[in-house]
């Protein structure tokens, strides 16, 4: 009974903080912080694009892959099944970063966040033959890195949010362990990968800008 109850709680936590929801929730939160810096209507456009590329397209792709037998389950328990979904997620976030940049009305921090997410997912894809990195903790780590970078860049007190995200990361890590979805190393590495690439992007944002605006001719 106790084991079943714990797994039920773990499943609920895993669902509530699933990587597919985290980017949109984070974008909504950050829009409130940047409200005064954005032109009228930009906030709605920003949220719609984020939902399209981080929720609608990944969900549609996963369902299509399930229906065609490419993956056995939407949970993708087998490492090899994650290859195509991770590549698609990487592509969606990279396209989103380019689109944000092309619109020229989106605060650059949102572009950095999308680009950092793309790099994090690409790293998880590269490591796939060696480790099934937790995308759940990678997503929470990414948001932790974004909030930390913003707090340092603008000298804004977001300590309370960082504490909350740390607690959420602990809960998510616990849930993934309880469900035997990942090993401790896969959980910690996911968080650190997500955190690190976001901070790196904010530290080297001039480089990110040049990459996104690179033209051959």
The predicted structure's pLDDT at residue 87: 97
DSSP 55: I
Q: How far from the centroid of its chain's Cα atoms is residue 10's Cα? A: 20
The predicted structure's pLDDT at residue 7: 84
The predicted structure's pLDDT at residue 35: 84
Percentage of the chain lying above the pLDDT 90 cut: 81
| Residue 4 located in a structural domain | no
Model confidence at 2: pLDDT above 60:
no
| Residue 5 located in a structural domain | no
| Residue 199 located in a structural domain | yes
CB 135 within 8 A of CB 190: yes
The predicted structure's pLDDT at residue 39: 87
| Residue 31 located in a structural domain | no
Which structural domain range is residue 62 located in? 17-26+42-212
The residue-averaged pLDDT of 204-212 equals 95
| Residue 140 located in a structural domain | yes
Please count the structural domains in the chain: 1
Instruction: Report the chain's mean pLDDT, rounded to a whole number.
Output: 93
Q: What is the pTM of this model?
A: 0.93
Radius of gyration of the chain from its Cα atoms, rounded to whole angstroms: 17
CB 206 within 8 A of CB 212: no
The rounded distance, in Å, linking the Cα atoms of 8 and 197 is 32
| CA angle, residues 154, 39, 104, in degrees to nearest 5 | 80
The residue-averaged pLDDT of 108-129 equals 97
CB-side neighbour CA atoms (13 Å) of 47: 14
Using the CB atoms, write b or e for 126-154: b if 16+ within 10 Å: ebbeeebbbbbbbbbbbbbbbbbbbeeee
The residue-averaged pLDDT of 91-101 equals 97
The rounded distance, in Å, linking the Cα atoms of 178 and 67 is 28
| Residue 34 located in a structural domain | no
CB 76 within 8 A of CB 85: yes
| Residue 60 located in a structural domain | yes
The predicted structure's pLDDT at residue 85: 95
- Give the confidence band of 5 by pLDDT, cuts at 50, 70, 90: low
The predicted structure's pLDDT at residue 133: 95
CB 193 within 8 A of CB 140: no
CB 147 within 8 A of CB 172: no
- Give the confidence band of 40 by pLDDT, cuts at 50, 70, 90: confident
The rounded distance, in Å, linking the Cα atoms of 214 and 204 is 15
Instruction: Determine whether 78 is exposed, middle or buried from the number of CB atoms within 10 Å of its CB (0-12, 13-18, 19+).
Output: exposed
The residue-averaged pLDDT of 142-150 equals 97
| Residue 135 located in a structural domain | yes
Rounded to whole angstroms, the maximal C-alpha distance in the chain is 65
Residues 6+ apart with CB under 8 A from 55: 20, 21, 23, 24
- Entry field: residues in the chain: 217
Model confidence at 169: pLDDT above 90:
yes
């Amino acid at each position: 009974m106790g084991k079943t109850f714990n797994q039920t709680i773990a499943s609920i936590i895993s669902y509530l903080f699933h990587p597919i929801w985290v980017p949109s929730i984070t974008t909504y939160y950050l829009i409130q912080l940047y409200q005064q810096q954005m032109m009228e209507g930009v906030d709605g456009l920003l949220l719609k694009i984020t939902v399209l590329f981080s929720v609608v397209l990944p969900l549609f792709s996963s369902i299509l892959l399930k229906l065609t037998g490419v993956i056995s389950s939407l949970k993708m328990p087998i490492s090899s099944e994650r290859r195509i979904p991770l590549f698609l997620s990487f592509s969606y976030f990279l396209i989103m970063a380019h689109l944000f940049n092309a619109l020229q009305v989106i605060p650059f921090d949102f572009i950095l966040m999308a680009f950092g997410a793309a790099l994090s997912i690409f790293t998880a894809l590269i490591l796939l033959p060696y480790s099934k990195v937790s995308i759940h903790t990678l997503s929470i780590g990414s948001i932790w890195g974004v909030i930390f970078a913003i707090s340092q860049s603008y000298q804004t007190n977001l300590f309370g949010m960082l504490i909350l995200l740390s607690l959420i990361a602990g809960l998510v890590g616990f849930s993934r362990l309880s469900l035997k979805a990942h090993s401790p190393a896969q959980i910690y590495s996911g968080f650190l990968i997500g955190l690190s690439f976001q901070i790196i992007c904010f530290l080297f944002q001039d480089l990110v800008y040049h990459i996104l605006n690179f033209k051959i001719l």
